[in-house]
Amino acid sequence: MELTTETARFRPREGRRRFMTDHARRRTVNLAARFLGQANQLITSELLAAGCDGIAPSHGDIFHALFRYGPLTMSEIARRIHRTKPTVTALVDKLERLGYVQKRASDHDRRSTYVSLTDEGLKLEPVIDAISEKLARLSEQNLTPEEADRLEALLAKLTGDAAELALDRPQPAF
């Protein structure tokens, strides 16, 4: 989930007491952004090394949802990956141009469009799984198992996914 103003769940709580100094908050945000940048660099370089030119880290959630659940409507994808429908439409359109997904209108509701993986898209599952595993190993290499569990819980709480995390374990990092 990206932390943007379009993300309705990422809103500061009014009247909440601040626990960190301004410097500590800025440092925490800086460290989180730096880690995200490093993760995106790793994902991008691994995708290029695997010959997956054109796929961006932002496509990972869509692949994950389609690998796991099969064909989904655009609205279902948006809900599952916590993105807006216009964002999902743009991401899916690019994947369609690259030949990894196909779209088709619903037989029951012409307003709904289903997205499914093509054969080329299905071939990416082991590649994406391997990248996810590598990213997970690297992100945990300097943490104890307890610290890794705590970090996951804190990130889920920060992004509003704590309840979902409890119901939906485990998930790939990418």
Q: Which of 6-20, 72-86, 130-144 shows the lowest mean pLDDT across its residues? A: 6-20
The CATH classification of domain 22-167, taken from the options 3.40.50.880, 2.60.40.10, 1.10.10.10, 2.40.30.10: 1.10.10.10
List the chain domain ranges. 22-167
Cis preceding-peptide flag for 170 (omega within 30 of 0): yes
Q: What is the DSSP code string of 82-119?
A: T--HHHHHHHHHHHHHHTSEEEEE-SS-TT-EEEEE-H
| Environment class of 64 (CB within 10 Å of its CB; exposed 0-12, middle 13-18, buried 19+) | buried
Between these two residues, 71 and 14, which has the higher pLDDT value? 71
Q: Tens digit of pLDDT for each residue in 74-122?
A: 999 999 999 999 999 999 999 999 999 999 998 888 788 999 999 999 9
Q: What was the pLDDT predicted at 7?
A: 45
103 φ, ψ to 5°? -115, 145
pTM above 0.85, yes or no: no
Q: Tens digit of pLDDT for each residue in 24-69?
A: 889 988 998 999 999 999 999 999 999 998 999 999 999 999 999 9
Helix (H, G, I), strand (E, B) or coil at 73: strand
Would you say the C-alpha torsion 25, 155, 82, 127 has a positive or negative sign? positive
